[in-house]
Amino acid sequence: MSLNQRDGALDLLKWLALLSMVLDHLRYVGYSVDLLYVPGRLAFPWFCLAMAANLDRAPAGKTDGRWRYLGWLVLFAALSEIPYRMFIAEHDTLNVMPTLVLGLLVARGWQNPTLQARLLAISAVLLAALFSSWLMFGFFGVMLPLVLLLVFRRAWYFALLAGLVCLASNQWQVLYYAARQGNIAAIPAVITCLIAPWLGLFLLRHAKGVKPPPMRRWAYALYPLHFLMLLALRQFLA
Protein backbone atom coordinates (compact mmCIF):
# COMPACT_ATOMS: atom_id res chain seq x y z
CA MET A 1 0.00 0.00 0.00
CA SER A 2 1.34 3.42 -0.93
CA LEU A 3 2.12 5.71 1.96
CA ASN A 4 0.15 8.41 0.10
CA GLN A 5 -3.01 6.30 0.22
CA ARG A 6 -5.00 6.81 3.40
CA ASP A 7 -5.74 3.74 5.45
CA GLY A 8 -9.12 4.43 7.04
CA ALA A 9 -8.72 1.65 9.58
CA LEU A 10 -5.39 3.10 10.71
CA ASP A 11 -6.89 6.57 11.09
CA LEU A 12 -9.75 5.05 13.08
CA LEU A 13 -7.26 3.27 15.35
CA LYS A 14 -5.47 6.56 16.03
CA TRP A 15 -8.72 8.38 16.84
CA LEU A 16 -9.80 5.61 19.20
CA ALA A 17 -6.39 5.63 20.88
CA LEU A 18 -6.71 9.38 21.37
CA LEU A 19 -10.21 8.96 22.82
CA SER A 20 -8.94 6.25 25.18
CA MET A 21 -6.14 8.53 26.36
CA VAL A 22 -8.53 11.41 27.04
CA LEU A 23 -10.88 9.11 28.96
CA ASP A 24 -7.96 7.90 31.04
CA HIS A 25 -6.82 11.42 31.86
CA LEU A 26 -10.33 12.53 32.80
CA ARG A 27 -9.61 10.73 36.07
CA TYR A 28 -7.40 13.70 37.00
CA VAL A 29 -9.99 16.41 36.35
CA GLY A 30 -11.33 16.25 39.87
CA TYR A 31 -13.65 13.30 40.14
CA SER A 32 -12.52 9.84 41.20
CA VAL A 33 -13.70 7.54 38.40
CA ASP A 34 -11.45 4.48 38.63
CA LEU A 35 -13.26 2.64 35.85
CA LEU A 36 -11.94 5.14 33.29
CA TYR A 37 -8.57 3.49 33.89
CA VAL A 38 -9.84 0.45 31.97
CA PRO A 39 -10.44 2.03 28.52
CA GLY A 40 -7.30 4.06 29.15
CA ARG A 41 -5.26 0.83 28.90
CA LEU A 42 -6.03 0.76 25.16
CA ALA A 43 -4.33 4.07 24.35
CA PHE A 44 -0.63 3.21 24.60
CA PRO A 45 -0.72 -0.20 22.83
CA TRP A 46 -2.85 1.29 20.05
CA PHE A 47 -0.45 4.19 19.52
CA CYS A 48 2.37 1.62 19.42
CA LEU A 49 0.37 -0.46 16.95
CA ALA A 50 -0.14 2.60 14.74
CA MET A 51 3.63 3.08 14.82
CA ALA A 52 4.18 -0.56 13.85
CA ALA A 53 1.66 -0.20 11.01
CA ASN A 54 3.46 2.87 9.66
CA LEU A 55 6.81 1.06 9.78
CA ASP A 56 5.33 -2.01 8.11
CA ARG A 57 3.95 0.09 5.26
CA ALA A 58 7.19 2.00 4.67
CA PRO A 59 8.92 0.91 1.43
CA ALA A 60 12.26 -0.83 1.86
CA GLY A 61 15.17 1.58 1.68
CA LYS A 62 13.01 4.67 2.29
CA THR A 63 14.34 6.40 5.39
CA ASP A 64 13.43 10.09 4.94
CA GLY A 65 9.88 9.61 6.18
CA ARG A 66 11.08 7.62 9.17
CA TRP A 67 13.51 10.37 10.19
CA ARG A 68 10.70 12.93 9.93
CA TYR A 69 8.53 10.64 12.04
CA LEU A 70 11.27 10.48 14.68
CA GLY A 71 11.81 14.23 14.50
CA TRP A 72 8.14 15.00 15.16
CA LEU A 73 8.11 12.65 18.13
CA VAL A 74 11.24 14.23 19.63
CA LEU A 75 9.87 17.75 19.11
CA PHE A 76 6.55 17.04 20.81
CA ALA A 77 8.22 15.02 23.54
CA ALA A 78 9.91 18.28 24.53
CA LEU A 79 6.86 20.49 23.97
CA SER A 80 4.57 18.18 25.95
CA GLU A 81 6.59 17.90 29.15
CA ILE A 82 5.50 21.19 30.72
CA PRO A 83 1.74 20.73 30.02
CA TYR A 84 2.06 17.16 31.26
CA ARG A 85 3.65 18.26 34.55
CA MET A 86 1.09 21.05 34.96
CA PHE A 87 -1.81 18.61 34.64
CA ILE A 88 -0.38 15.52 36.36
CA ALA A 89 0.78 17.09 39.60
CA GLU A 90 2.04 13.84 41.16
CA HIS A 91 3.94 12.64 38.12
CA ASP A 92 6.75 10.13 38.60
CA THR A 93 7.81 9.67 34.96
CA LEU A 94 8.32 11.72 31.82
CA ASN A 95 5.41 12.07 29.42
CA VAL A 96 4.72 9.16 27.08
CA MET A 97 6.51 10.62 24.03
CA PRO A 98 10.09 9.69 25.11
CA THR A 99 8.92 6.09 25.47
CA LEU A 100 7.58 6.20 21.91
CA VAL A 101 10.81 7.79 20.64
CA LEU A 102 12.92 4.96 22.08
CA GLY A 103 10.38 2.40 20.90
CA LEU A 104 10.59 3.74 17.36
CA LEU A 105 14.40 3.52 17.40
CA VAL A 106 14.25 -0.10 18.60
CA ALA A 107 11.69 -1.12 15.98
CA ARG A 108 13.56 0.67 13.18
CA GLY A 109 16.81 -0.99 14.25
CA TRP A 110 15.22 -4.40 13.86
CA GLN A 111 13.66 -3.49 10.52
CA ASN A 112 16.67 -1.70 9.04
CA PRO A 113 19.94 -3.69 9.04
CA THR A 114 22.21 -0.64 8.61
CA LEU A 115 24.92 -0.06 11.22
CA GLN A 116 23.50 3.35 12.14
CA ALA A 117 20.00 2.00 12.78
CA ARG A 118 21.32 -0.94 14.78
CA LEU A 119 23.54 1.27 16.96
CA LEU A 120 20.63 3.61 17.65
CA ALA A 121 18.43 0.64 18.54
CA ILE A 122 21.03 -0.77 20.94
CA SER A 123 21.43 2.66 22.53
CA ALA A 124 17.65 2.93 22.94
CA VAL A 125 17.47 -0.48 24.63
CA LEU A 126 20.27 0.46 27.01
CA LEU A 127 18.59 3.78 27.86
CA ALA A 128 15.29 1.98 28.44
CA ALA A 129 16.98 -0.51 30.76
CA LEU A 130 18.95 2.09 32.71
CA PHE A 131 16.20 4.70 33.02
CA SER A 132 13.13 2.47 33.07
CA SER A 133 11.74 4.17 36.17
CA TRP A 134 11.79 7.54 34.37
CA LEU A 135 9.87 6.27 31.36
CA MET A 136 6.12 5.98 31.24
CA PHE A 137 5.40 2.25 30.68
CA GLY A 138 9.06 1.49 31.38
CA PHE A 139 11.34 -0.93 29.57
CA PHE A 140 8.54 -3.13 28.26
CA GLY A 141 6.77 -0.07 26.89
CA VAL A 142 9.86 0.69 24.79
CA MET A 143 9.88 -2.87 23.47
CA LEU A 144 6.15 -2.98 22.64
CA PRO A 145 6.37 -1.31 19.17
CA LEU A 146 8.94 -3.92 18.10
CA VAL A 147 6.82 -6.79 19.43
CA LEU A 148 3.78 -5.43 17.57
CA LEU A 149 5.82 -5.06 14.38
CA LEU A 150 6.91 -8.71 14.68
CA VAL A 151 3.32 -9.97 15.07
CA PHE A 152 1.76 -7.48 12.65
CA ARG A 153 1.32 -9.92 9.76
CA ARG A 154 1.08 -13.11 11.78
CA ALA A 155 -1.95 -15.09 12.91
CA TRP A 156 -4.23 -13.42 15.44
CA TYR A 157 -3.11 -15.53 18.38
CA PHE A 158 0.41 -14.06 18.21
CA ALA A 159 -1.17 -10.78 19.29
CA LEU A 160 -1.93 -12.39 22.63
CA LEU A 161 1.84 -12.69 23.20
CA ALA A 162 2.07 -8.96 22.57
CA GLY A 163 -0.67 -8.63 25.19
CA LEU A 164 1.71 -10.07 27.79
CA VAL A 165 4.27 -7.36 26.96
CA CYS A 166 1.49 -4.78 27.15
CA LEU A 167 0.51 -6.06 30.61
CA ALA A 168 4.16 -5.99 31.74
CA SER A 169 4.44 -2.36 30.63
CA ASN A 170 1.40 -1.50 32.74
CA GLN A 171 2.97 -2.63 36.04
CA TRP A 172 1.17 -5.93 36.38
CA GLN A 173 2.39 -6.27 39.98
CA VAL A 174 0.47 -3.11 40.93
CA LEU A 175 -2.63 -4.33 39.10
CA TYR A 176 -2.37 -7.74 40.79
CA TYR A 177 -2.09 -6.13 44.21
CA ALA A 178 -5.04 -3.82 43.45
CA ALA A 179 -7.12 -6.82 42.36
CA ARG A 180 -6.34 -8.59 45.64
CA GLN A 181 -7.45 -5.45 47.49
CA GLY A 182 -10.78 -5.57 45.71
CA ASN A 183 -10.33 -2.65 43.30
CA ILE A 184 -13.13 -2.95 40.75
CA ALA A 185 -10.99 -1.64 37.87
CA ALA A 186 -7.96 -3.92 38.35
CA ILE A 187 -9.16 -7.19 36.81
CA PRO A 188 -10.88 -5.51 33.81
CA ALA A 189 -7.67 -3.51 33.30
CA VAL A 190 -5.57 -6.70 33.23
CA ILE A 191 -7.92 -8.24 30.66
CA THR A 192 -7.85 -5.06 28.58
CA CYS A 193 -4.04 -5.04 28.53
CA LEU A 194 -3.96 -8.66 27.39
CA ILE A 195 -6.42 -8.22 24.51
CA ALA A 196 -5.57 -4.64 23.43
CA PRO A 197 -3.05 -5.67 20.70
CA TRP A 198 -5.47 -8.28 19.34
CA LEU A 199 -8.36 -5.79 19.31
CA GLY A 200 -6.21 -3.26 17.47
CA LEU A 201 -5.07 -5.77 14.86
CA PHE A 202 -8.66 -6.98 14.39
CA LEU A 203 -9.72 -3.40 13.72
CA LEU A 204 -6.90 -2.78 11.22
CA ARG A 205 -7.75 -5.96 9.32
CA HIS A 206 -11.53 -5.69 9.28
CA ALA A 207 -12.36 -1.97 9.23
CA LYS A 208 -10.87 -1.15 5.83
CA GLY A 209 -14.09 0.45 4.58
CA VAL A 210 -14.32 3.19 7.19
CA LYS A 211 -13.30 6.75 6.34
CA PRO A 212 -12.78 8.82 9.49
CA PRO A 213 -11.13 12.25 9.25
CA PRO A 214 -7.46 11.67 8.38
CA MET A 215 -5.09 12.15 11.27
CA ARG A 216 -2.07 13.96 9.86
CA ARG A 217 0.96 15.68 11.38
CA TRP A 218 -1.15 18.31 13.12
CA ALA A 219 -2.39 15.52 15.41
CA TYR A 220 0.93 15.55 17.30
CA ALA A 221 -0.19 18.86 18.81
CA LEU A 222 -3.27 17.20 20.30
CA TYR A 223 -1.12 15.53 22.95
CA PRO A 224 0.10 18.68 24.74
CA LEU A 225 -3.13 20.54 23.93
CA HIS A 226 -5.36 17.96 25.58
CA PHE A 227 -3.44 18.43 28.84
CA LEU A 228 -4.07 22.19 28.70
CA MET A 229 -7.76 21.71 27.88
CA LEU A 230 -8.27 19.24 30.73
CA LEU A 231 -6.36 21.56 33.06
CA ALA A 232 -8.73 24.39 32.11
CA LEU A 233 -11.69 22.08 32.73
CA ARG A 234 -10.35 21.17 36.15
CA GLN A 235 -9.93 24.84 37.04
CA PHE A 236 -13.49 25.54 35.87
CA LEU A 237 -14.92 22.72 37.99
CA ALA A 238 -12.88 23.63 41.08
Host domain of residue 223: 11-237
How far is Cα 40 from Cα 70, in angstroms, rounded to an integer?
24
Tens digit of pLDDT for each residue in 102-150? Answer: 999 999 999 998 999 999 999 999 999 999 999 999 999 999 999 999 9
- Predicted TM-score of the model (pTM): 0.93
Residue 3 covered by a domain: no
Residue 5 covered by a domain: no
Tens digit of pLDDT for each residue in 20-63? Answer: 999 999 999 987 788 999 999 999 999 999 999 999 987 655 55
Q: Is it the case that residue 4 has pLDDT exceeding 60? A: no
CB within 8 Å of 173: residues ≥ 6 apart: none
How far is Cα 3 from Cα 216, in angstroms, rounded to an integer?
12
Domain count, the chain: 1
Average pLDDT for residues 15-23, to the nearest whole number? 97
Residue 172 — pLDDT band, cuts 50, 70, 90?
A: confident
Residue 228 — pLDDT band, cuts 50, 70, 90?
A: very high
Residue 2 covered by a domain: no
At residue 1, the pLDDT reads 36
The interaxial angle of helices 186-206 and 138-151, nearest 10 deg, is 30
The interaxial angle of helices 96-111 and 115-130, nearest 10 deg, is 140
151 neighbors 159 (Cβ within 8 angstroms): yes
**Cα separations in angstroms, 64 against 5, 42, 209:** 18, 30, 29
